[in-house]
Amino acid sequence: MQLTGGQRLRVLREALGYTMRDVETGSLQVSRRLANDEFAIPPSRLSDIETKGVVPSIFRLYTLAAIYRCDYRELLSWYGVDLNNIHADILSARPNRSHFSRVSDSATEARIPVRLDPGFSFSKTTNIARMIEQWGAVPLTYLSTLADDRYSYGYIGTDDFTMYPILPPGSFVQVDEAKNRVAEGIWRSEYERPLYFVETRNGFVCCWCHVNRDQILLQSHPLSPVPVRTLKHPQEAEVIGQVVGVAMRLGGSQVLYSEPEQKESEELI
């Protein structure tokens, strides 16, 4: 029979030779240092946690992690909260505004393909899932050789139609922050022209850009209902980097665009 979270905490306490009074004494020191009584754990409460299935608060779980010399993430997993799987729930809600995604920062492991079909070829269009013969959980520290800090990832909000239809709402973009200077040139197609991820005072936007002295033109797709915007550069708009990768869904439910409501003060201008 699998032990509950409370039972595991009791086993860990006894393995370290702690009495409940020892835990209380240690927790009082933690609560005094942090000036918060929520970190204190009276023996009666610890007994309820260990034997009656009471779930410790985030403050007391922190105290137990410190006193028991245990990783806070591991204690969370004993209560069914696995931060390494949080990516599976990020689509539970779809933000309306474009933003940077940092949900993976809390993960310590990643599931990656560890064995591919020998017949896999990058030159052919392929169902990647069918080419993966085995998945494995790998500590993220092992992937440090593949890390490149210049890349960040953005999400195109469901209300952001700036680059529609070539970049529909709900898309994810990979941004090369080393390429934060707007390139000028003659582009043979709309797909060849660089896209940039830009931060403005009103949030983020992904679009084509053109810089003219101290002004930057945020140009939307010609078929997009979003108007072209001109802002001061870099005071009102900062180029985070160039988009070098895109992940998007094709088909599915249709998203209708509606003009954003203007504030009363803007209407009077």
The string of pLDDT tens digits covering residues 202-221 is 889 999 999 998 999 999 99
pLDDT in tens, 122-164: 555 455 555 666 666 555 555 554 455 667 888 888 889 999 9
Least confident among 48-57, 149-158, 180-189, 190-199: 149-158
3-state secondary structure of 208: strand
CA atoms of 117 and 130, how far apart (whole Å): 8
Q: What is the pLDDT of residues 61-113, one digit of tens each?
A: 999 999 999 999 899 999 999 887 777 787 788 888 877 776 666 666 666 66
What whole-number distance in Å separates Cα of residue 4 and Cα of residue 134?
31
* Element at 252 (helix H, strand E): none
Which domains are seen in the chain, by residue range? 5-78 (1.10.260.40), 87-96+103-141 (no CATH), 151-259 (2.10.109.10)
For 254, residues 6+ apart whose C-beta sits below 8 A from its C-beta are: none
* d(C-alpha 104, C-alpha 26), whole Å: 32
Confidence of residue 264 (pLDDT cuts 50, 70, 90): very low
Q: For the chain, what is the mean pLDDT?
A: 83
For residue 194, what is the DSSP state?
Answer: P
The closest of 69, 77, 76 to 13, measured between CA atoms, is 69
User: Can you give the pLDDT at residue 268?
Assistant: 39
Can you give the pTM of this predicted structure?
Answer: 0.57
